[in-house]
Amino acid sequence: MIPYGTFTFFGILFVLLIPAVIIGFLGKRLTHYTSFLTFVFLLIIFSSSKIQTFYLVGYILWVVILIKGYSVYRKKANHSFVYYSSVFLSILPLIIVKVSPIFESTTILGFLGISYLTFKTTQVIIELRDQSIKGIKTADFLRFLLFFPTISSGPIDRFRRFQQDSQKVLTAIEYREYFQIGVHKIFIGFLYKYIIGYLINTHIVETRFALGHTFVSNLTYMYAYSLYLFFDFAGYSAFAIGVSYLVGIKTPENFNMPFISRNIKDFWNRWHMSLSFWFRDYIYMRIVFLLTKKKIIKNRRNISYIGYTTLFLVMGAWHGLQINYLLYGLYQAILMCSFDWFEQFNKKKKIWKNNKLTHLLAVIITFHFICFGFLIFSGHLVN
């Protein structure tokens, strides 16, 4: 059963959340009941596929051994080879999933949510290496890894932030605020995903006209698909965040009005924020730091461009190794590097003034670049 995908799922969810709400309003700890809910929803989500259940269990055993092993090792030593090997092993199951379709082989270890579990596992290894996490208990790691509202598609939380929330006992007054926010988010999710998103997809995106390949139909598809993608995914994220609040966890926001972005950097600070911030912190910043430290390249701008290009190509490949995803990653890298160059150029030449008119123009221009990127992403141009 797909999370938030059917009204049956919501029916089961709301019934099982009733005890959580009661516990919250009584000012009691929600941790144990949330762990119970996670176990129940794992059974519900994976009940229809024994093979996916088998892969999930195997994956959990794999990453628990990896995390515990590296945690014990890190307390004694800090060799780069062991660290990079651990990072590679944490993403190996996902690599196999992404690469195997190319060779027309059976997808090994494939199950719903493997990408987001991989992000969490790799993040913990990196933070163990940095010693921002000194050590980690298996129960705490599993609670973070398998947190049921976000298991399939995020948003991607950070272990330390999640741990603080899960250990906090909310008062009845505090929980009432969480409850109000959670219910509001869930209603927003229904509005976005099952009303606006559904109408756009049914009456525009999937129509014969929009699926054509004339200039006007491509343009129609581009705008409609971009809006559908936002409302569908933002709706899902609202569900995940809302349910998280109902069990006492402030899962981070994923979208912040991305279509009013004034440039491509601003867009990636607003669109799928938990993912973009993850890539920024754990790929871009690491590459920039490594190249700067090793003095492999002296020009800081070139270092930054290498970081951007690597980041977006990895992001494209994460979606899939199909040509449209790789082209989308390359397109975003070109946009980011080009804007960075223009931004530096404009600081000297002052050709783009900062006023209300230029701000409006910047939003309009950025919107069209964004939509064209989503047209590439959709695969419509290569089908």
Backbone φ and ψ of 87, nearest 5°: -60, -45
Query: Pick the catalytic residue: 32, 79, 203, 319?
Result: 319
Decide if 79 is catalytic.
no
- C-alpha to C-alpha distance for 300 and 312, rounded to whole angstroms: 18
Residues with Cβ within 8 Å of residue 335, at least 6 apart in sequence: 264, 369, 373
Backbone φ and ψ of 135, nearest 5°: -170, 165
Residues 247, 249, 250, 255: what is their CA dihedral angle, to the nearest 10 degrees? -70
b (16+ CB within 10 A) / e for 194-223: eebbeebbeebbeeeebeeeeeebeebbbb
Alpha helices, DSSP H, located in the chain:
7-25, 31-46, 50-74, 80-99, 114-130, 138-145, 159-167, 172-189, 198-200, 215-246, 264-268, 273-279, 285-294, 300-319, 323-349, 356-378
- C-alpha to C-alpha distance for 373 and 3, rounded to whole angstroms: 28
Which residues are marked as active site?
319
